[in-house]
Amino acid sequence: MNLIILILSHPNPLSTAVLFIPQSFPRGLFKSTAAKFRLKSAPHNKPRHLSLIPPHPLFVHGDVGDAPNRPGLTHAPNSPGGSSASVELVVTMAARPLVTVYNEKNEPTGTQVKLPAVFTAPIRPDLVSFIHDQLRKNKRQPYAVSTKAGHQTSAESWGTGRAVARIPRVRGGGTHRSGQGAFGNMCRGGRMFAPTKTYRRWHRRVNVAQRRYAAASAIAASGVPALVQARGHVIDKLNEIPLVINDKVEGFKKTKEAVALLKQTNLWADVEKAANSKRYRAGKGKGRNRRYKQKKGPLVIYNNDGGLVQAFRNIPGVSTLSVDRLNLLKLAPGGHLGRLILWTEGAFKKLDSLFGTLSKASEVKKNFSFPRAKLTNADISRIVRSEEILKAVVPKRQTAIVSKNHGNPLKQAALLNKLNPYAAVIKRASRVASKA
């Protein structure tokens, strides 16, 4: 049978997964794998079988640069039951210690960049969603109704005793308007309840440390292929995630150069998906300069702008961002993690100096400590059963300790006889005396 395997690896063992794309599964081949489920990231994506890597990997794979020179494997070591399969392609696409740099023709340049430490930061969707919601409020424009609205008439209540409501009524006569209710929110032409004010608290102050933590978490999520695909991006034909291109693309000034780059790097499929998603907005926003809605495509992060922004700005769904001015609203649009990012080599190398590492502080962000996960390994059952833990904990008790039962000897005869054996004689003597 023909079988395509995508190894989705990540420094976090629980984020590591194997993507099987077979023509048909042989019976019993993957019975030993741990959680097998179907992933449908979007309606246009074909369903894929995702399963966590078992204790013994099904296939041994090398670096992604070796894939073209290794057209296939004919045996699957450690596969259950000694089954073998013919493999068409083995691709490693995820956060690895080294990331390959490609040129504008999608060819490896021979340069490998060390993976920045920010890609190992904790992924916090709750924090990213909250910070995104707070930052998005800072672009709101105040609005309110007129302070005189609904009160631009002389009206006064008729009082009680006239069998009508006590709402203020318009004065005068000779017109239908006279005698009609006014001012109240239940009246035609009246004011609204609780008229809106321009001095509402529109904007939100967000702590710098929280913004930095959320940005680091969004960048880390962009290096997990499962999260990128779950967000709806088309990554089936990408060489690697994260995807890094040499700095030559920063000098692009023409849109046709940018389009050629996206097509060469197989990112054009995601651009087409974003372009085809353009549709009318539902509601009144159509008349407020928000007529259309459109999905997000790839994000291009650069170090120096030599014309790159001008080249990419007219491509639908594509956004550009400077690595020195990272914006969470673009790194995680809608507060959803997993944005597909195209990095330039200079921007990718600069991440360690921006966010720092586990051993070195940031060179740019003052008083910023690199976020560390409180739980480095989420496999609790494996930790509890490890030899180190079993040696340190108290061994399991073989015999259960029965707690002592404290009874009332005045109500329990057996307990009373145990405390005072002569009590039975006294009780018997009293019973005989009562009969006599």
**Beta carbons of 149 and 215 less than 8 angstroms apart:** no
* 339-392 pLDDT per residue, tens: 999 999 999 999 999 999 988 899 999 988 888 888 878 889 998 889 999 889
Give me the domains of the chain, ranges plus CATH numbers.
2-92 (no CATH), 94-138+205-281+289-392 (3.40.1370.10), 408-436 (no CATH)
101 forms beta bridges with: 244
How far, in Å, CA of 396 to CA of 380, rounded? 19
* Per-residue pLDDT, 96: 54
Per-position pLDDT tens, the chain of length 436: 444 455 444 444 444 444 444 444 445 444 443 333 333 333 333 333 333 333 333 333 333 334 333 333 333 344 444 434 343 333 444 445 899 999 999 999 999 999 999 999 999 999 999 999 999 999 999 999 999 999 999 999 999 999 999 999 999 999 999 999 999 999 999 999 999 999 999 999 999 999 999 999 999 999 999 999 999 999 999 999 999 999 999 999 999 999 999 999 999 999 999 999 999 999 999 999 999 999 999 999 999 999 999 999 999 999 999 999 999 999 999 999 999 999 999 999 999 999 999 888 999 999 888 888 888 788 899 988 899 998 898 888 888 888 888 899 999 999 999 999 999 999 999 999 998 7
The CA-atom distances, in angstroms, between 20 and each of 33, 225, 257 are 12, 14, 35
Q: Do β-strands 36-39 and 299-302 pair in parallel, antiparallel, or remain unpaired?
A: unpaired
Q: Identity (one letter) of the amino acid at 341? A: I
Within 82-207, residue ranges assigned H as helices are: 125-136
* Per-residue pLDDT, 399: 84
How far, in Å, CA of 392 to CA of 312, rounded? 59
- Nearest CA to 320 out of 338, 336, 297 is that of 297
How far, in Å, CA of 93 to CA of 114, rounded? 15
* Per-residue pLDDT, 403: 84
* Per-residue pLDDT, 55: 32
22 forms beta bridges with: 3
* Per-residue pLDDT, 189: 95
* Per-residue pLDDT, 248: 94
DSSP assignments along 247-310, one per residue: GGGGG--SHHHHHHHHHHTT-HHHHHHHHHT-EEPSSGGGGTT--EE-----EEEESS-SSHHH
* 178-220 pLDDT per residue, tens: 999 999 999 999 999 999 999 999 999 999 999 999 999 999 9
